[in-house]
Amino acid sequence: MPEIQTDAQDQQHSPRREARREARQEAKSQEDAEEPSLSFLQIAGSAVAAAFGVQSSRNRERDFSRGKISHFVVAGVVFTAAFVLIMILVVNLVIGGLAG
């Protein structure tokens, strides 16, 4: 027959569980601190994916944990400006082709 633990027995195991949990959290925070910041291509890829709304949850978590907001703001502004300029160029080429 399985042994049933009492509240007193649970409390005896509690400090050990707490210590293990704290050790895991500390190890995870050290791993996070050792991770390098994002590369230019990772930031650019995230900006493009975010613009089209197709960012994966794994990349989003990576961006929030390792990226800096200023890098993403600059990447978003540059991407938006490039997108608008390309659209203007395409429209002018199409209109110029139709007029000629």
Q: Is residue 56 part of a domain?
A: yes
Is the confidence at residue 2, as pLDDT, over 70?
Answer: no
pLDDT band with cut points at 50, 70 and 90 for residue 96: confident
Q: Is residue 1 part of a domain?
A: no
Q: Is residue 16 part of a domain?
A: yes
Model confidence pLDDT, tens digit, residues 20-44: 888 877 776 665 556 789 999 999 9
Q: Is residue 2 part of a domain?
A: no
**Total tally of structural domains belonging to the chain:** 1
Domain hosting residue 79, numbered range: 8-99
Q: In terms of Cα–Cα distance, which of 94, 39, 97 is closest to 68?
A: 39
- Helix/strand/coil for 42: helix
Is the confidence at residue 99, as pLDDT, over 60?
Answer: yes
pTM attached to this predicted model: 0.58
22-47 burial: b if 16+ Cβ within 10 Å, else e: eeeeeeeeeeeeeeeebeeebbebbb
> Mean pLDDT for the chain?
84
Which residue has better confidence, 10 or 34? 34
